[in-house]
Amino acid sequence: MGSLAWLLIPLFAAIGAAIWGSWAARDRTSGDISELAGYARFREVMDTSRADKAKAHSGSDAV
């Protein structure tokens, strides 16, 4: 029975390595696309707010 336990240890290690390897090699690009789209919206909002502030400080709208 002891020898069976010693044979099961590498078997479980191989199964664990296969599971970890498949998890580590998974395709993670789907999350990047939505994050990049959110970052693009953030930059657009920041650019428009910066342009609005520059217009307000330029004095062109002052009466």
Listed by start position, the domains of the chain span: 2-58
pLDDT at 19 over 70: yes
3-state SS class at 59: coil
Q: What is the phi/psi pair of residue 18, to 5°?
A: -65, -40
pLDDT, tens only, 24-62: 998 776 667 778 888 999 999 998 877 777 777 666 555
pLDDT of residue 63: 46
pLDDT of residue 61: 52
pLDDT at 11 over 50: yes
Q: What is the phi/psi pair of residue 26, to 5°?
A: -70, 160
pLDDT of residue 44: 92
pLDDT of residue 50: 75
Cα–Cα separations (whole angstroms), residue 41 to 5, 8, 32, 59: 57, 53, 14, 28
